[in-house]
Structure 1
Amino acid sequence: MSCADVDEILAIEERAYAFPWTRGNFIDSLASGYSIWGGRLPSQLVGYFVLMPVVDEAHLLNISVAPGCQGVGYGSLLLEHALRIAGDAGAASLLLEVRPSNTAALALYDRFGFSRIGLRRAYYPAANGREDALVLRRQLAMGARCAP
């Protein structure tokens, strides 16, 4: 994805999250060379992810599926693609943070073999202050298929 896609990405981001990333977050990610990939049907973008390589691991910074497209497997397809890209780039693991309240995402990450490795206290903004983040990791077989 490129700067030309940011408006479409933001439309999903703002519907999917109470505290969405800003236009600047996406522009900065692109400028920094992070991998931003989207899943598209002929008529619309259904989801995207932002992947940051870090030496021998990758960090999944954001993964989102449009609210009207959730629950049909697009999140699994996006996550599988992120895992494949990270492994092909030489990452030994994929790291991410997730809200403990995001039960759908936790179920997805569990199906894909992610393990909890830590907790970041007061990481996310929330309606009543801050919410912790669970830190999850999935070991990768570089260049291998990453489906659950």
Structure 2
Amino acid sequence: MIGFPFENRRSQPFVIQPLSRDDAPYLARIHAQTFRQPWSDDEFHALIVNDKVFGFIAREEGNPKAPPGGFALARLVLDEAELLTLAVAPQSQCRGIGHALMDATLRHLHNARASMLFLEVDEQNAAALALYRRMGFKKVGKRPDYYRTADGRSAALTMRRDLDKSR
């Protein structure tokens, strides 16, 4: 898959590209900036090399030395997929990168003829919930006290989007 660019008036243009093995340290760094319980380089590397896992990374167009703006990582088994994690670096938020990464993920799943995509999201993560709802995800479950927060614990909402395989 060739990366595809997108531009937002508020930012430098980014290009969305498939993840490579060399991206694990970048993923761990962004994950540590955005999640309370971050995953390590080794955990990301193990996922990236798994043949059921795929993902995308947002890079600043024309500046390969710039740190990536974000990434999405998903797993596809048979015709069901799970978004494992999606993170946008704090300095790159509010630029449409999360939407572009989700769009790339959904396109990949459409081409793979997946029937549905699941994800879990902290019920207190308003930005992520807004993105997922805009992209057609519906709440299908709730796991109380799943995430650790600064104030204690919060629930994980399980969400699903059915995918159109007819196209």
TM over 0.5: yes
Any residues of structure 2 matched to 1:31-70 within 5 Å, and which?
Answer: 31-33=49-51, 34-41=53-60, 42=63, 43-70=66-93
1:73 and 2:96 matched: yes
Given that residues 76 and 108 in structure 1 are in contact (C-alpha distance below 8 angstroms), is that contact kept between their aligned partners in structure 2?
Answer: yes
Which protein is richer in helix relative to its size? 1
In 2: Cα distance, 1:129 partner to 1:31 partner: 34
In 2: Cα distance, 1:23 partner to 1:8 partner: 8
Of the structure 1 ranges 124-133 and 44-53, higher mean CA displacement relative to structure 2 is found in 124-133
- Displacement of 1:128 in angstroms is 5.1
In the alignment, what sits opposite 2:41? 23
Given that residues 57 and 86 in structure 1 are in contact (C-alpha distance below 8 angstroms), is that contact kept between their aligned partners in structure 2?
Answer: no
Any residues of structure 2 matched to 1:59-138 within 5 Å, and which?
Answer: 59-127=82-150, 129-138=152-161
In 1: Cα distance, 2:31 partner to 2:152 partner: 21
Q: Per the alignment, do residues 58 and 5 of structure 1 end up closer, same or farther by CA in structure 2, a change over 3 Å counting?
A: same
Partner amino acid, structure 1, of 2:44: F
Given that residues 87 and 143 in structure 1 are in contact (C-alpha distance below 8 angstroms), is that contact kept between their aligned partners in structure 2?
Answer: no
In 1: Cα distance, 2:94 partner to 2:105 partner: 18
Partner amino acid, structure 1, of 2:30: I
In 2: Cα distance, 1:124 partner to 1:23 partner: 21
**Matched residue of 2:159: which SS?**
strand
In 2: Cα distance, 1:95 partner to 1:20 partner: 20
- Displacement of 1:7 in angstroms is 1.4
In the alignment, what sits opposite 2:25? 7
Partner amino acid, structure 1, of 2:109: A
- Displacement of 1:125 in angstroms is 3.1
Aligned residues: 144
**Matched residue of 1:141: which SS?**
coil
Query: What is the identity percentage for the equivalent residue pairs of Structure 1 and Structure 2?
Result: 35
1:139 and 2:158 matched: no
In our comparison, the structure showing a higher alpha carbon Rg is: 2
Q: Per the alignment, do residues 92 and 67 of structure 1 end up closer, same or farther by CA in structure 2, a change over 3 Å counting?
A: same
Q: When the two structures are superposed, what TM-score results if normalisation uses the length of structure 2? A: 0.79
Of the structure 1 ranges 67-76 and 128-137, higher mean CA displacement relative to structure 2 is found in 128-137
Partner amino acid, structure 1, of 2:78: V
Q: Detail structure 1 runs of 4+ shifted over 4 Å in the superposition.
A: none
